[in-house]
């Protein structure tokens, strides 16, 4: 079995998916040298983490336990989709929100 060639910035992209803190660390890791692959996945991961935190805060105020189940399922499914794309060396955007993440988080260079 052949080993896939290592893309520059792949380690940075993996760090971005770990937590919101990992995404912030990945932003600084990609400051020099800049890698297109890492930038794409850092934006995707940062967007997923921010959306999750925003809806978790909103749901905490709303107070519905079933809302948390849906939120976690939504987050986990999209996280695995994005992370598997990363492992396959693809710049595969998260469904529905991925293109918005690329537009909204242009400050991630």
Q: What is the pLDDT of residues 19-61, one digit of tens each?
A: 999 999 999 988 888 889 999 999 999 999 999 999 999 888 8
User: For a pLDDT cut of 90, what percent of the chain falls above it?
Assistant: 54
Quick one: pLDDT at residue 72? 92
Q: CA nearest 31: which of 42, 20, 17, 21?
A: 42
* 100: number of Cβ within 10 Å: 14
- Give the whole-angstrom CA distance, residue 69 versus residue 82: 20
Phi first, then psi, for residue 69 (nearest 5°) are -60, -45
Mean pLDDT score of the chain: 88
- Give the whole-angstrom CA distance, residue 45 versus residue 21: 11
Q: Is pLDDT above 70 for 7? A: yes
- pLDDT average, residue stretch 68-92: 92
CA angle 102, 107, 109 (to 5 degrees): 85
- Give the whole-angstrom CA distance, residue 4 versus residue 1: 9
Quick one: pLDDT at residue 4? 57
């Amino acid at each position: 079995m052949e080993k896939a060639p290592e893309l520059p910035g792949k380690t940075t992209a993996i760090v971005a998916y770990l937590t919101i803190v990992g995404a912030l660390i990945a932003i600084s890791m990609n400051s020099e040298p800049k890698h297109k692959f890492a930038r794409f996945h850092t934006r995707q991961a940062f967007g997923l983490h921010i959306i999750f935190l925003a809806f978790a805060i909103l749901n905490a105020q709303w107070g519905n336990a079933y809302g948390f189940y849906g939120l976690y399922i939504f987050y986990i499914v999209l996280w695995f989709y994005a992370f598997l794309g990363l492992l396959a060396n693809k710049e595969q955007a998260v469904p529905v929100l991925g293109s918005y993440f690329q537009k909204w988080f242009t400050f991630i260079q």
